[in-house]
Amino acid sequence: MRAVFLGPPGAGKGTQAKFLEERYKACQVSTGEILRKAVREQTPLGRKAAKHIDKGKLVPDDLMVKLVAERLREEDCKKGFVLDGFPRTKAQADGLEAILRDVGSRLDCVFSIQVPRGIIIQRLAGRRTCKRCGTLYHVLFNPSKREGVCDRCGGELYQRDDDREETITARLDVYETQTAPLTDYYRKQGLLREIDGVGSVEEIRGRLFQALREIEA
């Protein structure tokens, strides 16, 4: 499985990508997670990325394409991958095409999860993420058993810095202007599957797996 998840902030890309990772043993590549780790560890990439992430802007394309090119060449991505948060611009989509051409591979499908703005704010405001393993929770919709503690690994749950309201608005604007046009790009290639992202996590998962059955039929 070689798939891409498109969708606005809080659409559920990370939540649903995890299901594909489990089902297909494909590796989930979340560029947001990779960047946040680099910021925490204060690597050169992290220092460059932090100033963009904090404002809700995109990290420059050349850095992102290089990062993904290196990640997809690692052993665990050879059996398949689920890209969550990449590509986000036409330049990144072109970069991905070149990377895949290089390794003699191609995408199987691109899922675009659609969710209206009102719901997004609610989802992001209540999101909690495990510092250790990255598992996602929501204080109302998907709470951990013990507040602040990950069910899977016992790690500490935290709230992302870019989930403040003014940063969310900037991220949504960036999505509309720079990333949303990619849906047309992939529709023209016959790869796009649009998924209605309104409903419970399980309902969206059901729609995703139904789309996969149709692709595989």
Q: Given the rule CB under 5 A, which residues bind Mg ion?
A: 14
Q: Is 127 a catalytic residue?
A: yes
Which partner in Mg ion, ligand AP5, none is near 77 (CB below 5 to 8 A by kind)? none
Q: Which CB sits closer to ligand AP5, 107 or 216? A: 107
Q: Which of 2, 123, 171, 207 is catalytic?
A: 171
Q: Determine the interface stretch with ligand AP5 among 20-28, 73-81, 121-129, 144-152 (rule: CB under 6 A).
A: 121-129
Q: In whole angstroms, how close is the CB of 186 to ligand AP5 at the nearest point?
A: 15
Which partner in Mg ion, ligand AP5, none is near 164 (CB below 5 to 8 A by kind)? none
SS (H, E, C) the chain: CEEEEECCCCCCHHHHHHHHHHHHCCEEEEHHHHHHHHHHCCCHHHHHHHHHHHHCCCCCHHHHHHHHHHHHCCHHHCCCEEEECCCCCHHHHHHHHHHHHHCCCCCCEEEEEECCHHHHHHHHHCEEEECCCCCEEECCCECCCCCCECCCCCCEEECCHHHCHHHHHHHHHHHHHHHCCHHHHHHHCCCEEEEECCCCHHHHHHHHHHHHHHHHC
Which partner in Mg ion, ligand AP5, none is near 134 (CB below 5 to 8 A by kind)? none
Catalytic site residues? 13, 88, 127, 160, 171
